């Protein structure tokens, strides 16, 4: 479950996984840094769905107004080098990830 860091509201219950990319080698030359052979970790959580209305691309905002990330129905490149399509990317620096606590069962 992902919660907005600003207001603590739940913004998503689950994320989708993707295969780790090849890092900087997957990017165009002008987007590369000096760390070409270093594998980069993902900077975003990807969601399976976000209500975009009629938009094809844009910002993903919390109800409190905080920017959580971006979406693009044609896809986005993850910081690890993998292409994710469609992409609903929430920045890891804007949300906290928590796991729901299992409720004890009574016997």
Higher-confidence residue: 78 or 32? 78
What distance in Å separates the CA atoms of residue 8 and residue 65, rounded to the nearest whole number? 12
Alpha carbon distance 88, 67 (integer Å): 13
For the chain, percent of residues with pLDDT exceeding 90: 38
The pLDDT of residue 87 is above 60: yes
In tens, the pLDDT along 88-101 reads: 999 999 999 887 65
20 within 8 A of 48, measured Cβ to Cβ: no
pTM above 0.75, yes or no: no
């Amino acid at each position: 479950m992902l919660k907005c860091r600003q207001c603590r509201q739940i913004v998503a219950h689950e994320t989708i996984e993707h295969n780790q990319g090849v890092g900087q080698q997957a990017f165009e030359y002008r987007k590369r840094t000096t760390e070409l052979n270093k594998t980069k970790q993902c900077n975003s959580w990807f969601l399976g769905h976000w209500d975009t209305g009629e938009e094809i691309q844009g910002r993903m905002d919390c109800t409190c107004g905080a920017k959580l990330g971006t979406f693009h129905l044609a896809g986005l490149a993850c910081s690890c080098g993998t292409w994710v399509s469609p992409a609903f990317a929430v920045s890891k620096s804007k949300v906290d990830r928590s796991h729901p606590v299992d409720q004890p069962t009574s016997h």
